[in-house]
Chain A
Amino acid sequence: MIETFFAPLAAGFASLADVWTLTYIVIGVAVGYAVGAIPGLGKGTATAVLIPVTFYLDPVSAIGLLIGIAKGSTAGSAISAILLNTPGEPSSAATAFDGYPLAQQGKAGKALKMALFASVIGDLISTLCLIALAAPLAQFALEIGPVEQFGILLFSLTFIGALAGSSLTKGLLSGALGLLVATVGLEIETAVPRFTFGRLEFFDGVALIPVAIGMLALAEMILQMSNHRALDRQVAEIRTSTRPEDNHVTGEDWRRSLPAILRGTGIGVFVGILPGLGASVASFMSYGVTSRTSKTPERFGKGAIEGVAASESADNAVVPSSFVPLFALGIPGSVIAAILISAFVIHGITPGPMMFVEDAEIVQSLYAAMIVASFALLAIGLIGQSFFAWIIRSPMRLIAPTVLFFCTIGSFMQGGGLFGILIMVIFGVLGVFAKKLGYSFVTFLIGFVIGPSVELTLRQTLPLLDYDAANLTQHPIAAIFIAMTIGLIAIMAGSELRRRRSGRVATQT
């Protein structure tokens, strides 16, 4: 066990000796930190927009850069949560509960430093969990067939659809629409064109990057631009303190926060491994558990430093552990994992169990790159925190055009020129509708990414089962996952029905 953990890591660090690879990882963390600090610009936006920049890098530098962006952005989002009471990403909302009151008390420096330390600890421990868990899980995945794979994919998509959206119905609808868009292009078995409307650009299917940039970045920018005056007003209200005692984490702060950090990390790792739950669930869960188990719960919401630590450790622990299903099974459990799939494919790597056999050296280097990124996060956070706090003062009239420019370049490069931009704008507008009407764009994107695998495994499953569902008894793992899918839908439908009934009772009384 120890050997299987440390041997690949040692080999990975040896192959990571290239100074340029290390530079790209550090650049990724720094860019991610800056982007994450700006409200509304999350890790999904940053990675989707910057994938084209990585075309010409070697696989480890490219994916290391993108993972650095994801890690940096998750940690950076605490800055605006603490200083502006406006989280850079939804998952940092719980950080604002105590971070903003601390900032109002003139202790912004202390809160920012604790957020950074908690982020780094959560991220590092979660990375080690990824290294320990992914390979054994991949080994298990190698031994299962298409019937089992179909069961797992079906369960994952339903799980994400049920939990990621505002309602089960809309979540499942989003997943179905994602699966439908994935059918565009030449069909796998017969090469019959589907929904191509005679256009050659559609023969390879709809490109993921313009779709992701449209739904994540462009849609977000459209909504931010419509609200730019309010955002700029919040930025103008930032207060800063020059007192040294307000800018350091004391021994007493550590004593209060360390249990919260470890608990938050555990919650983050667990939530991250489960597809679709996301960092927001982890950070709120960790914050809730920490406040409930505290001997002084009345301090929470008024500037408790352990509230910041609990939320940030869980938030950052989710990112590495959400790569467990991606690395081991090839199933993206989050938006960032879905976007990373395209980066893997661009660089000739197929995420999933075979990656540990065919690209073992790259996996080892990626593990090492992720650990380097954790330490880069600490260094860049400590050195550049005041710089990143300054960046968030940039008005939206400068941020939005810059993001639109990067969106355009990304879609143009990866989407086949103007056609890519057309796809980006269409999905950007659909993304605005999805966000405003509560349809889960996360489920849509994941359905779109795993759509080809769902179809392929379903096509293999039907003949294997002799077109008879009763033959599922010969595939107990698949039967369990399909039963879990049905059970999950029944539970979620029941809970939605109860919620609606209680709403009706409340209205009547």
Chain B
Amino acid sequence: MKKAELVSGLVLLAFGLCLWAVLIPWQVAESPDAVISPRMMPYLCATLIVVLSLILIAQSWMDLRRNADAGPAFTRAEVLSTLGVIVLFGVAAALFVFTGPLLPGIAIVLLPMLALGERRILVLTLLPAALMGGAWLLFYVALGTSFQ
């Protein structure tokens, strides 16, 4: 955990320095008419991030020297679950672009059910149908809007 904290501190430090050196000059133009520069707040945040991440790195470094690390911050199941959700929404987005809202809606309900172990055909049919039907009634019929 402390190792993960150290790594997160290093990542945030790199991000803060990248903000300072690259992102703010590239993405926030200076405005000669402005009383206060549009870059003020981003620079203020970047400074805070750099200073605080340095403190965090020092704290977790000292903790690591004193105590053994308690183990990884993430379990294998958590990593797989996170990757699974990213893939799920990637598939749903692709389906939406090529086929419209029906198939991605079904995929978002059906695929996690299958991945989590649901095998009853009736439940696999009824839950997506009920959710899609409810959404259609609410948004298309009652509220007169659509998912396009």
Binding site for B on A (CB under 8 A): 53, 55-56, 167, 169-170, 172-173, 176-177, 179-180, 183, 187, 189-190, 192-197, 218, 221-223, 225-228, 395-398, 400-402, 404-405, 408-409, 412, 418, 421-422, 425, 428-429, 432-433, 436-439, 455, 458-459, 462-463, 500, 503-504, 507
Contacts and interface: CB of A to CB of B under 8 A. Distances in A.
Contacts of B8: 433, 437, 439
B93 A173 contact: no
Q: Is the interface of A mostly helix, strand, loop or mixed?
A: helix
Given A404-B109, A409-B135, A180 B123 contact: no
B112 interface: yes
B78 A222 contact: yes
- Counting chain B CB atoms within 10 Å of each CB, which of A167, A169, A425, A432 scores highest? A169
A398 B74 contact: no
A412 B8 CA distance: 30
B112 A225 contact: yes
Given A395-B118, A425-B86, 19 more contacts: A173-B48, A173-B56, A180-B49, A190-B33, A190-B34, A192-B38, A194-B28, A195-B28, A225-B84, A226-B75, A397-B112, A398-B113, A401-B127, A404-B85, A404-B112, A405-B131, A418-B93, A418-B96, A437-B8
A197 B41 CA distance: 18
B116 A400 contact: yes
B99 interface: no
A169 B52 contact: yes
Contacts of B86: 425, 429
A170 B42 contact: no
B75 A500 contact: no
Interface in B41-99: 41-42, 44-46, 48-49, 52-53, 55-56, 59, 62-63, 66-67, 73-75, 77-78, 80-82, 84-86, 88-89, 92-93, 96-97
A196 B27 contact: yes
- Counting chain A CB atoms within 10 Å of each CB, which of B1, B46, B81, B127 scores highest? B81
B35 A463 contact: yes
B113 A226 contact: no
21 contacts: A169-B56, A180-B42, A192-B29, A192-B31, A192-B34, A193-B29, A218-B85, A222-B81, A225-B85, A397-B112, A401-B116, A405-B131, A408-B89, A412-B147, A418-B96, A421-B89, A425-B89, A432-B82, A436-B73, A455-B41, A459-B35
Contacts of B112: 225, 397, 400-401, 404
B27 A228 contact: no
A167 B75 CA distance: 22
A329 B78 CA distance: 40
Interface of B: 1, 4-5, 8, 12, 19, 23, 27-29, 31, 33-36, 38, 40-42, 44-46, 48-49, 52-53, 55-56, 59, 62-63, 66-67, 73-75, 77-78, 80-82, 84-86, 88-89, 92-93, 96-97, 105, 108-110, 112-113, 115-118, 123, 127, 131, 135, 138-139, 143, 147
Nearest to B19: A180
A463 B45 CA distance: 20
A187 B34 CA distance: 11
A261 B84 CA distance: 45
B45 A222 contact: no
Nearest to B46: A180
Nearest to B27: A195
Contact of B73 (A167, A437, A458, A500): A437
B147 A226 contact: no
Nearest to B55: A169
Contacts of B55: 169
A462 B41 CA distance: 13
B127 A179 contact: no
A222 B97 CA distance: 25
Contact of A397 (B4, B31, B73, B117): B117
Contact of B41 (A418, A437, A458): A458
B63 A500 contact: yes
Nearest to A53: B138
A429 B90 CA distance: 14
Nearest to A161: B52
Contacts of A196: 27
- 3 closest A-B pairs by beta carbon, nearest first, are A397-B116, A226-B81, A180-B45
A402 B73 contact: no
Contact of B48 (A176, A221, A395, A429): A176
Nearest to A174: B52
Nearest to B130: A402
Contact of B49 (A173, A418, A463): A173
Contacts of A172: 48, 52
A194 B131 contact: no
Contacts of A223: 78, 81
Nearest to A434: B8
B52 A176 contact: yes
B85 A428 contact: yes
A402 B86 CA distance: 17
Given A176-B49, A192-B29, A500 B62 contact: yes
Contact of B113 (A55, A194, A397): A397
